[in-house]
Amino acid sequence: MIDPIALRIGPLQLHWYGIIIAAAVLLAALLGARVAKSKGENPDEGWSMLLPVVILSVIAARLYHVIHQWDAIYSKNPALIPQIWNGGIGIPGAIAGGALAIWLYTRAKGLSTARWLDIFAPALLLGQAIGRLGNFVNQELYGPPTTLPWGIPIDAAHRLPEWMNLNAFPVATTRFHPLFAYEAILTLIGMAVLLYLGRRWAHRLYDGDIALLYIMWYGAVRTALETFRTDNWVILGIPTAMWVGILGFVLAGSWLIIRHRRGWGTPMLHPAEPDLTDELATAPQPGPEPSPG
């Protein structure tokens, strides 16, 4: 178990959670800038929209979490609402806030919203994977007890009510499913898939397709992981995140199919960009070596 406070200087405290989130934002931004350059876009535009994206993402993510935990925590102590360094952000809220910021920025600058959503989709998955390490430090986002070798300990102060009986679930021997690690691994796989598709299949995709595939991937991941959780925010008896994941998957998948069947979209491979697959197919092949005379 790790002390959530990385550094103390008098009354000032530097939390690991904040360090991890800052690292996640920076590394995701670096990946986004690299993808933007590979697509022939100006990476400086990506850096310029980073601040509004981060601000709206954090606000929306915190709002999602506060609504989730309103009755249990924040209605009793509203002063805790701004204390984000203690953990507590909702990824669905972060996605919505970030997408809104990108839409506002690109609309103001006359840029393609769909193209920039594609650019940031793999970067968002990288940021999510890194950010989930903060859940490990804060001992949150874990599942039920497990005997699997990668189970993690959770101290009594961070236990959910159903596992606070320390006689039945001793701290020394009880281990829990690390849901944050499962999500981090699956989001890294998703990042690799989106980067591959964005390069290998660019000649068949429209701007916005990578963003739609992101929604489908994360919707499926989040829906699956919600089945492990017991502290869910539920609507009609079903976890809210599962509603969001399923609806996101269905709507994004349906729109992806419809737009390709009807040709509704701007080709991802713009005229200024070379189609690497065509270049390889048409490149002159070396002739046979002359036989020694």
pLDDT tens figures, 74-124: 888 888 888 877 667 788 888 999 999 999 999 999 999 999 999 999 999
At 292 the pLDDT is 42
At 10 the pLDDT is 84
- The residue written with tokens 């002390």 in the block is 3
At 280 the pLDDT is 42
CB 134 within 8 A of CB 21: yes
Amino acid at residue number 224: A
SS3 content of the chain, % helix, strand, coil (to 5): 60, 5, 30
Q: CA 236, CA 229: separation in Å to the nearest integer?
A: 16
Backbone angles phi, psi at 6, to 5 degrees: -80, -35
At 291 the pLDDT is 42
At 253 the pLDDT is 97
At 106 the pLDDT is 96
Domain extents in the chain: 5-153+175-269
Joined tokens for residue 76: 């009793």
State which residues of the chain have pLDDT below 70. 86-87, 270-293
Joined tokens for residue 176: 């829990």
Joined tokens for residue 44: 């400086």
At 56 the pLDDT is 95
At 52 the pLDDT is 94
